[in-house]
């Protein structure tokens, strides 16, 4: 395979040299003077046999160079001329008076070569500097596609120094930035619009004229495809300095990263640019060092404003940074930005594999803990503790979503046998108790952890169960907990006790409502009495169900307290009341909580 590639490269090089030789022969044929060439100019690995006079009449550099040489045939070496042999051949044609074609692809190298050879107006009217400068201003800088081509050509090693000195690079970038920032990106401004692949365009009719609809991301694909990272950085900084929305900047950087970072794990099939899993890159190969450097630069380019970059993409960057072993500063920056908008994260993206050399756990819980720490810093703890965030306030919604997210995360990582109890407790304790509307999620995580770690002592299980509030378990969760043999006996009794209190509260509320209905029944019409009776009938059925459930729990409790330890503990909790008060009877187990459990 390598031999085949080398052969193809050799054939390509031979073809280019053949074309230049034919072009050079045509030059000699067209400019034949009958005089023997008296100058040989070497450019890289090619030699040009020319005449002094046509060259010296146009180039100040060659005039100075050859004036110091003898009158006999002299040799000059121009290995550093911008553009190499191809560009010098065009320069030689121009000096001999042969008409040359200036294009966006060769205009930059010709302009730099003309500057290198000092081909100014002092050596003839309409010299090469004037010709190429006029072409750049009149044709290249006013056109988006041509500016891209010119900027790409400027990046060549031999061209770049002079292109920077002549401000060609800055003018190309300024031209592109102006067009990217323009509010009306239409052909009226004389540049074509290159939409990313897969983007559908609609047709708009205004005053009988058909036009194509455009979007704010029309330029993403071009700059991601043709600009290397240093040029892209300068371009995006220029666009940002012109006041473009931070969301557009973030979207462009995201697009660039997906195209040029293979380890981001994006699909290589072209698709809609709005999809997070789309990658527009070609099948190119990068070393880990190159990708690591590129990723660190991309993180610096991303705007720091909250929520302008999707949390999904930031988490993907974080995962890739761990694979590439990026700098600690880069990973900390990503964790901080993710923490600022953790409420927008999805559980599957938060499951970051542990890439540490000494990592024992399956997932990187340390990183998630740091992310959660950053998120909690964005909230005023005093407001949370005093319960002043009421109603549909955004902070309360955000932290409630994060609480549910972390509960789900704990349930996913709980089955890892190497996850230490202290780490599990530390993650669960970061969420304030008051922000969880229900504790079913954390109960499920605790149950999975205890099942995956059967060697935990009774004391350790009790400490683990402190993460949940038995009073905030749903009826289904209470039923499941009351029958869960893995839970400590103390926790089971607490669940039954609080469920009994809930039953009493429900009965008291029903009685209060019944008395209130009797007091106001005389003032209500017949149809309202009917509605009240229906409500009371429903309440009676609910009380009957609660009585059945309470009796079921009582029976489960009797089984648990048959041992001496259970009876002593139960007597400490309820005292003599357990002997004097009984609950209505009923069947148990009908409302068991359906919680997915891992297999032993």
Rounded to 5 degrees, what angle do the CA atoms 279, 285, 291 make?
Answer: 75
CB 39, CB 73: distance < 8 Å: yes
The answer, yes or no, to whether residue 176 has pLDDT greater than 90, is yes
The packing angle between helices 246-260 and 288-301, to 10°, is 170
> Helix (H) and strand (E) counts for the chain?
27, 5
The pLDDT of residue 492 is 86
Cβ–Cβ < 8 Å for 154, 171 = no
Of 427, 419, 413, 325, nearest to 375 by C-alpha is 427
pLDDT > 90 in the chain, percent: 47
Closest CA to 589 of 559, 563, 556: 556
Q: What is the pLDDT of residues 358-376, one digit of tens each?
A: 668 899 999 999 999 999 9
| Per-chain mean pLDDT for the chain | 77
CA distances to 109, 153, 256, 263, 270 from 232, in Å: 20, 14, 9, 20, 22
- Give 190's pLDDT tier (boundaries 50, 70, 90): very low
Residue 369 · residue 430 · CB < 8 Å: yes
DSSP string for 201-262: --EEEETTEEEE---TTTTHHHHHHH--HHHHHHHHHHHHHTT--HHHHHHHHHHHHHHH-G
Residue among 380, 436, 377 nearest 410 (CA):
436
Query: What's the confidence (pLDDT) of residue 323?
Result: 92
- Low-confidence winner among 29-43, 395-409, 523-537 (lowest mean pLDDT): 523-537
Q: Which of 450, 464, 428 is nearest to 595 (CA)?
A: 450
Q: Which tokens sit at 327?
A: 């700098």
Measure the CA angle with vertex 398, ends 396 and 401; round to 5°. Answer: 105
pLDDT tens-place string over residues 81-97: 999 999 999 999 999 99
Residues 273/254, Cβ–Cβ less than 8 Å: no
**Maximum separation of any 2 CA atoms in the chain, in Å:** 131
For the beta sheet containing 46-50, the strands, ordered from the edge strand earlier in sequence to the opposite edge, are 46-50, 39-43, 74-77
Residue 36 phi/psi, 5° resolution? -75, 135
At 482, the pLDDT band (50, 70, 90 cuts) reads confident
Q: How deeply is 594 buried, as exposed, middle or buried, from its count of CB atoms within 10 A (0-12, 13-18, 19+)?
A: exposed
Q: Kindly report whether the global pTM for this prediction surpasses the value 0.75.
A: no
Confidence of residue 426 (pLDDT cuts 50, 70, 90): very high
- pLDDT of 219 above 90: yes
Report residue 503 as tokens: 């039953």
Min mean pLDDT across 94-98, 189-193, 449-453 is at: 189-193
Which residues does residue 160 pair with via DSSP β-bridges, in sequence order?
A: none
- pLDDT range class, residue 591, cuts 50, 70, 90: very low
> How would you classify the pairing of strands 203-206 and 209-212?
antiparallel
What pLDDT does 499 receive?
74
pLDDT at residue 533 tops 90 = no
Is pLDDT at 231 greater than 90 in this prediction? yes
DSSP assignment letter at 285: -
125: left (phi over 0), alpha (psi -120 to 50) or beta: beta
pLDDT of 275 = 40
């Amino acid at each position: 395979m390598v031999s085949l590639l080398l052969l193809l490269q050799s054939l390509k090089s031979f073809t280019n040299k053949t074309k230049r030789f034919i072009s050079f022969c045509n030059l000699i044929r067209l400019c034949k003077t009958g005089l023997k060439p008296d100058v040989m100019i070497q450019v890289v690995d090619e030699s040009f046999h020319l005449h002094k006079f046509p060259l010296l009449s146009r180039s100040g550099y060659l005039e100075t160079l050859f004036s110091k040489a003898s009158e006999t045939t002299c040799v000059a070496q121009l290995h550093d001329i911008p553009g190499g042999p191809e560009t010098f051949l065009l320069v030689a044609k121009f000096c001999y008076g042969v008409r040359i074609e200036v294009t966006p692809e060769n205009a930059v190298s010709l302009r730099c070569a003309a500057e290198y050879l000092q081909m100014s107006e002092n050596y003839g009217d309409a010299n090469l500097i004037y010709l190429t400068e006029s072409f750049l201003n009149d044709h290249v800088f006013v056109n988006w596609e041509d500016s891209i081509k010119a900027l790409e050509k400027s990046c060549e090693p031999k061209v770049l120094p002079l292109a920077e000195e002549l401000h060609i690079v800055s003018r190309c970038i300024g031209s592109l930035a102006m067009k990217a920032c323009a509010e009306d990106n239409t052909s009226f401004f004389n540049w074509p619009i290159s939409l990313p692949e897969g983007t559908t365009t609609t047709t708009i009719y205004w005053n009988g004229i058909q036009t194509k609809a455009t979007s704010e991301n029309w330029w993403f694909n071009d700059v991601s495809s043709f600009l290397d990272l240093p040029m892209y950085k300068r371009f995006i900084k220029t666009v940002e300095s012109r006041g473009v929305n931070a969301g557009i900047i973030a979207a462009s950087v995201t697009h660039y990263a997906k195209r040029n970072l293979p380890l981001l794990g994006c699909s290589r099939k072209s698709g809609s640019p709005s999809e997070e899993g789309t990658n527009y890159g070609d099948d190119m190969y990068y070393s880990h060092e190159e990708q690591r450097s590129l990723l660190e630069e991309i993180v610096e380019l991303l705007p720091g404003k909250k929520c302008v970059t999707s949390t999904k993409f930031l988490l993907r960057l974080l995962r890739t940074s761990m694979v590439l072993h990026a700098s600690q500063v880069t990973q900390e920056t990503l964790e901080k930005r993710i923490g600022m908008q953790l409420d927008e994260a999805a559980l599957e993206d938060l499951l970051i594999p542990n890439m540490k050399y000494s990592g024992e756990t399956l997932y990187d819980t340390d990183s998630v803990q740091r992310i959660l720490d950053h998120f909690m810093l964005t909230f005023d703890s005093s407001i949370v503790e005093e319960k002043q965030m009421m109603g549909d306030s955004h902070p309360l919604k955000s932290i409630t979503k994060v609480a549910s997210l972390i509960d789900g995360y704990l349930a996913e990582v709980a089955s890892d046998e190497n996850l230490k109890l202290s780490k599990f407790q530390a993650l669960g304790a970061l969420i304030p108790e008051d922000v969880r509307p229900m504790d079913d999620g954390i109960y499920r995580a605790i149950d999975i952890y205890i099942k995956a770690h059967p060697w935990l002592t009774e004391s350790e299980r009790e400490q683990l169960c402190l993460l949940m509030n038995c009073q905030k378990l749903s009826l289904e969760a209470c039923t499941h907990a009351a029958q869960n043999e893995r839970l400590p006996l103390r926790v089971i009794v607490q669940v039954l006790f609080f469920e009994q209190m809930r039953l009493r509260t429900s009965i008291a509320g029903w009685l209060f409502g019944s008395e209130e209905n009797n007091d106001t029944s005389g003032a209500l019409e017949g149809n309202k009495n009917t509605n009240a009776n229906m409500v009371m009938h429903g309440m009676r059925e609910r009380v009957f169900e609660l009585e059945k459930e309470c009796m079921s729990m009582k029976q489960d409790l009797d089984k648990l307290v048959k041992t001496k330890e259970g009876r002593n503990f139960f007597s400490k909790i309820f005292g003599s009341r357990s002997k004097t008060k009984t609950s209505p009877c009923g069947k148990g187990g009908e409302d068991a909580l359906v919680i997915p459990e891992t297999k032993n």
